[in-house]
């Protein structure tokens, strides 16, 4: 049985990804900054929970040790932010910590096992707002952080062997606390491409950016 760690998975898209992987027979670990929320969500879908604050390197190291070897990593945790990009240095730093440095550190801790066993899947939940082709939109530092996450995806895929596939995906506008209830997609629809990328076979792509299981422009 393959093991998957999904960050920010106590609700929204992350929970939908975790639920989908559990249905496919994965042993799922829900990463959540709030331990109680993570355990509650994990109980609902037959998963386990690990306390994980992706903005805190010490928390990441503890969670990686507690999780042990994993075959699939889904970097889903994110924050939207608000305000003006250049007027909020603290918000900028937080966005980079959560959506770039956190995923980097998780890959640092967890991909050596994937390389050693000759199998691994990393899915970075990004956004079209982080695409240069779409003007790097989004509030505050969100688009900048997602663009950096996209760059990290490309560079990491180039660094790792083809047996460890690293891809980014855009879930679209999803009805979550971040996306709002007026969004056009359900969490399950937003999660579908991430689940697909997490379970790619050996011939699947690496170093790509996808929406609805189709490549999109960076």
Active-site residues, by number, are: 142
Answer yes or no: are the C-beta atoms of 218 and 170 closer than 8 Å.
Answer: no
Answer yes or no: are the C-beta atoms of 79 and 7 closer than 8 Å.
Answer: no
Secondary structure letter of residue 38 according to DSSP: H
Alpha helices in 75-141 (DSSP H): 89-96, 102-117
Secondary structure letter of residue 187 according to DSSP: H
Closest to 170 measured CA to CA, from 139, 203, 192, 154: 192
* Token output for 185: 């997609």
* Token output for 139: 């509030």
* Token output for 19: 């639920």
Distance between first and last Cα of the chain: 34
- The single residue listed with the structure tokens 């991430």 is 194
φ, ψ of residue 201 in degrees (nearest 5): -85, -175
Closest to 54 measured CA to CA, from 81, 80, 36, 75: 75
């Amino acid at each position: 049985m393959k093991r998957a760690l999904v960050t920010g998975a106590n609700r929204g898209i992350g929970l939908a990804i975790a639920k989908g992987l559990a249905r496919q027979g994965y042993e799922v670990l829900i990463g959540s900054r709030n331990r109680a929320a993570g355990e509650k969500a994990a109980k609902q879908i037959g998963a386990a929970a690990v306390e994980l604050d992706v903005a805190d390197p010490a928390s990441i190291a503890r969670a990686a040790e507690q999780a042990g070897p994993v075959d699939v990593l889904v970097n889903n945790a994110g924050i939207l932010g608000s305000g003006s990009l250049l007027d909020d240095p603290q918000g900028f730093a937080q966005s980079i910590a959560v959506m770039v440095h956190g995923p980097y550190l998780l890959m640092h801790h967890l991909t050596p096992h994937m390389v050693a066993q000759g199998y691994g899947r990393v899915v970075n939940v990004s956004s079209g707002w982080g695409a240069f082709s779409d003007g790097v939109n989004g509030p505050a530092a969100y688009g900048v952080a997602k663009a950096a996450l996209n760059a990290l995806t490309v560079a990491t895929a180039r660094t790792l062997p083809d047996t460890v596939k690293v891809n980014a995906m855009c879930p679209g506008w999803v009805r979550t606390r971040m996306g709002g209830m007026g969004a056009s997609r359900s969490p399950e629809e937003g999660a579908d491409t991430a689940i697909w990328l997490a379970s790619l076979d050996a011939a699947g792509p690496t170093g790509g950016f996808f929406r609805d299981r189709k490549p999109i422009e960076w």
